[in-house]
Amino acid sequence: MRVRKAVLPAAGFGTRFLPATKAIPKEMMPLVDRPIIQYAVEEAAASGIEQIIIVIATGRSAIEDHFDSNASLERWLEERGDIDMLRTIRRISEFGTVAFVHQREQLGLGHAVLMAKDLVGDEPFAVILSDDVMLNPSGEPVTRQLIDAHVTHRGSVIAVQRVDRQDVTRYGILDPLHEEGRLVEIRNLVEKPSVEDAPSDLAVLGRYVLTPKIFDVLEQTSRGAGGEIQLTDAIRTLIGEQPVFGYQFEGTRHDAGTRLGWLKANVAVALESEDADEFRAYIRGLDLRD
Ligand code: UTP
């Protein structure tokens, strides 16, 4: 079955990026000239997704406003003859179908995904965590890579990449059964293991293609670490019932939900932007000695 829909959870508190995220969701922080979530929507569109479902926190409308049209701004740009910017602004609100669902209480990522159950229905779907910025400028978008793996191998597919051994404590880590090329058959998933106990260095990162069975599992999943309904816990249960694969995607990932990750993502995006030459010259001219 085709993967037509993507769920973008964006209702978290973003506590690692306070106070910037006090009044705006971290997904609205800009990367160069666009909010983080717009990169995720563009990645979804470039991956063949036709319907985006964004999970937002009740009472926070910035993301909804961003994807809505803005008649007075458009009129203002038109009157001044800024046609390029007018096109850019209109394109944002013209992306396929963007639907919003509310998460009333921040009960975790698994709970946020569950909020999209009715809109997704009985079909496989992608989950995109937009604060995991995935860049693959000369290749396939990461979501597309996962969808292709799902079409070939069926079952659910989660994005993984090798991390430094000392960093395994920050991620969900795969216990791999078998590796073949980029595909990894999974025996189990371990959430934030110690360096000694980690079964591998393959970390789960923010892209998934899941079968609708995950909703049944999420409904049965009780609160785990941090009192939250964890998507990782639900995927672990799913492994016992259906095939779940890891896919070692091609591309660079930045955790833009942290200060340092956000800074790195800005540099990476800027070096691919129309200001790249000037920016590169600026960086080269910096005195970077200690
Ligand atoms: P994170 O753990 O990165 O988000 O969740 P957070 O809780 O916002 O951030 P910190 O840890 O406090 O800094 C991963 C994704 O899941 C969403 C977040 O918006 C982010 O995209 N999320 C998380 C929800 O939509 N709802 C939740 O209850 C929790």
In the block, tokens 């892209």 appear at 207
pTM score, whole prediction:
0.95
Ligand 1 pocket member 14 (CB < 6 A)? yes
150-153 contacts at long range (C-beta below 8 A, 24 or more positions apart): 150/3, 150/124, 150/209, 151/3, 153/183, 153/243, 153/245
Q: Is the pLDDT of residue 94 over 90?
A: no
Q: How confident is the model at residue 97 (pLDDT cuts 50, 70, 90)?
A: confident
Token output for 208? 């998934």
Q: Read off the pLDDT of each residue in 31-42 and give the average, rounded to a whole number.
A: 95
Q: Residue 108 corresponds to which amino acid?
A: G
Ligand 1 pocket member 258 (CB < 6 A)? no
Angle at 110 between CA 234 and CA 219, to 5 degrees: 65
Task: Return the best residue to mutate from 52, 109, 258 for the ligand 1 pocket (most ligand atoms within 8 A of CB).
Answer: 109
Ligand 1 pocket member 206 (CB < 6 A)? no
Ligand 1 pocket member 129 (CB < 6 A)? yes
Q: How confident is the model at residue 128 (pLDDT cuts 50, 70, 90)?
A: very high
The pLDDT value given to residue 160: 98
Domain ranges of the chain: 5-284
- In whole angstroms, what is the distance from residue 30 CA to residue 131 CA? 11
Q: How confident is the model at residue 148 (pLDDT cuts 50, 70, 90)?
A: very high
Class of residue 227 by CB neighbours under 10 A (exposed 0-12, middle 13-18, buried 19+): exposed
Helix, strand or coil, per DSSP, at residue 132: strand
Class of residue 165 by CB neighbours under 10 A (exposed 0-12, middle 13-18, buried 19+): exposed
Percent of the residues in the chain that have a pLDDT greater than 70, as a whole number: 100
Give the number of residues written for the chain: 290
What average pLDDT is seen over the chain?
94
- In whole angstroms, what is the distance from residue 149 CA to residue 154 CA? 8
The pLDDT value given to residue 3: 96
> Could you tell me the distance, in angstroms and rounded to a whole number, from the CA of residue 25 to the centre of ligand 1?
10
Q: How confident is the model at residue 142 (pLDDT cuts 50, 70, 90)?
A: very high
Which CATH architecture is the domain 5-284 placed in? Alpha-Beta Complex (3.90)
The pLDDT value given to residue 68: 86
Ligand 1 pocket member 257 (CB < 6 A)? yes
Q: Which atom of ligand 1 is nearest to the CA of 131?
A: 21
Q: Residue 79 corresponds to which amino acid?
A: E
Q: How confident is the model at residue 268 (pLDDT cuts 50, 70, 90)?
A: very high
